[in-house]
A and B are shown apart, each in its own frame.
Chain A
């Protein structure tokens, strides 16, 4: 039971980091990022590939993988999104264009995988390095893996850092201003374009980090991002798509309900575990029907 609870918490924290990324991009540039799926997959695979190359502990390589995905974010913004924002494209158009980006990123990830598979004969079609995760301590006969501690702490740390960044630094305050009103802040001399580049970088880093942490918790293939991307969407919408804090909480709630709730209900209703995907999605639908702007509507400061 302890291990189940800790796994759920780790999974929920990883989801939360990704949801924060989606929320950040939506609040800053009004883009609901479909490319999130492939960015997560890239983080997932880059960590694995670096680990294969260096044989270092995966945790040491995660920041590198995340930063690389962060640069993808910058490239996506500069090459595609910026032009559309300038031409005042609708939210739906922006969503669709990131879907196109998602296909391209997905294809290139698979080409990279094929390259290693055929030319270096690597066993890479499936990532399974969960067992490389060292056990920290052992409580009551069950091993406590490092990920159980690292994932929640990373999520908390990111929350703390983002809070500091947004309230204490000039750039952070400029970012909040640009989110509130791009026109006013550009009048005050803030380079909104640069702020958006930064937002896309952070969004990419978070998505990549979320994917790379997943390597220690799940096994999967290049489709891992699109397999669970609906959970990320659900988390960020339950969180309200308005503040990064809301995104983190939404992700946490969705992750816990998918894992922990379905596990605890499976004691009474044994069949429920196969339907665990349905729980968070139904939660999303119910949340939206009751509070059409997500849970953030409840705590919004007047």
Chain B
């Protein structure tokens, strides 16, 4: 019994870490590298969830020979159960649907990134932040009320794409999500060291200087938003297909969890530093999960005050104290080396030798 409980705690913590890792890194690319106040992180994440629940869910139903129109939303629970039966008999189909789902999510994320970037980037600072926030709220209100997309207030269930792994479903999907998170770290690090990433950081440091060097600031910012949104859509999609969640609902994508928490994490970890962000995500996710798991015990200690509020106080204080006393974050950003240190050393030696011989 205790082992089972521990397993659930661990699953919860690892899922939180992986999803927030992808989300925070995506935000770091936009905010940390290119200085875009992305207060609408939930837009792309919600789009990723819609891609899985609204589009690939229907594709799966179509393949299983079930209705995909109005019926799909109205009798969703029954239909998805039947889709799951079909998928469990066709492991190959479910695996390819999983890949297709993630590709769709990333493509739709790219598209929505482009759509928000084009009109929004004429604005600056607070205006831009609030506009991006409003885009998120508009999309969320719309999806929440418009049933044909993902069932409006009730949401839709998502077929189990990992059903072919049998009793190891939770474990396999968790492993998959962790792998995706690690890939995202690698991608974010690669971007950080690439010419594109360095131009993004230059835009952040001085737009004027970059214009002088003949680069288009708007274009760089669009790249940042598009890459960030694609990544955030992936996070939304992965969260939605996890076996213990397996649903797509607009109200699950709230401002606190899908925009403000990633902001808190990147501020804590160090704006612009991927590894710092990863560290902050791991520490804070564990803290949050522990608070939510031991809620009742903490509540009893605290004269019946609900432990949920402790989480808010913790997050608030982290943001306030970090911005006031350590604005660089836990791990301040360092200049990115494009080559490994050993290689730089090697080149230096060679140059010195050449000088000595000549």
Residue positions of A touching B, CB distance < 8 A: 26, 32, 80, 83-84, 87, 89-93, 95-97, 99-104, 106-108, 110-111, 114-115, 118-119, 226, 230, 233-234, 237, 241, 274-275, 277-278, 281-282, 284-285, 288-289, 292-294
* Inter-subunit contact A106/B312 (CB<8 Å): yes
Task: Decide: B119 and A32 in contact? CB cutoff 8 A.
Answer: no
| Minimum CB–CB distance for B225 against chain A, Å | 16
Instruction: Look across to chain A and name the residue whose beta carbon is closest to the beta carbon of B31.
Output: A92
A108 to B305: give the CA distance in the assembly, Å.
Answer: 10
A97 contacts which chain B residues (CB < 8 A)? 319-320, 323-324
Cβ of B253 under 8 Å from chain A: no
- Given the known inter-chain contacts A284-B131, A288-B123, please indicate yes or no for A96 contacting B263, CB distance below 8 A: yes
Chain B, residues 244-283, CB within 8 Å of chain A (1/0): the string is: 0000000000010000100110010000000000000000
Stretch touching chain A among B7-15, B18-26, B41-49, B136-144: B136-144
Contact partners of B315 in chain A: CB under 8 A: 100, 103
Q: Are B126 and A278 in contact (CB under 8 A)?
A: no
Contacts A101-B320, A107-B316, A277-B137 given; does A32 touch B126 at CB 8 Å: yes
Partner among B126, B141, B255, B318 whose Cβ is within 8 Å of the Cβ of A241: B126
User: Closest Cβ of chain B: how far from A112's Cβ, in Å?
Assistant: 10
With both chains docked as a complex, state the minimum distance between the C-beta of B54 and any C-beta of chain A, in angstroms: 18
Q: How far is the CA of A234 from the CA of B131 in the complex (A)?
A: 9
Can you list the 4 inter-chain pairs with the closest CB atoms, starting with the nearest? A100-B319, A103-B316, A104-B316, A107-B312
Cβ contact within 8 Å between B313 and A278: no
Which range holds the interface residue count of chain B?
Answer: 35 or more
Complex: chain A residue closest to B139, CB-CB: A278
The residues of A that contact B264 with a CB separation of less than 8 Å are: 100
> Please, what's the 1-or-0 string for B115-140, where 1 marks a CB less than 8 Å from any CB in chain A?
00001001101110111011101100
Which positions 185-211 of chain B face chain A at CB distance < 8 Å?
Answer: none
Contact status A282-B138, CB under 8 Å = yes
Q: Which residues of B contact A89 (CB under 8 A)?
A: 323, 327
Q: A83 with B309: in contact, given A96-B267, A281-B137, A285-B131 (CB under 8 Å)?
A: no
Asked if residues B319 and A107 are in contact (CB atoms below 8 Å), the reply is: no
B338 interface contact, C-beta 8 A: no
Determine whether B306 belongs to the interface, using a CB cutoff of 8 Å to chain A.
Answer: yes
The reply to whether B323 and A100 contact each other, CB–CB distance below 8 Å, is yes
Asked whether any CB of chain A lies closer than 8 Å to the CB of B145, the reply is yes
Decide: A93 and B131 in contact? CB cutoff 8 A.
Answer: no
Q: How long is the Cα–Cα vector from A234 to B130 in the complex, in angstroms?
A: 8
Query: In the complex, which residues of chain B have a beta carbon less than 8 angstroms from the beta carbon of A282?
Result: 138
Q: Is the CB of A275 within 8 A of B134?
A: no
Residue of B nearest to A240 (CB): B127
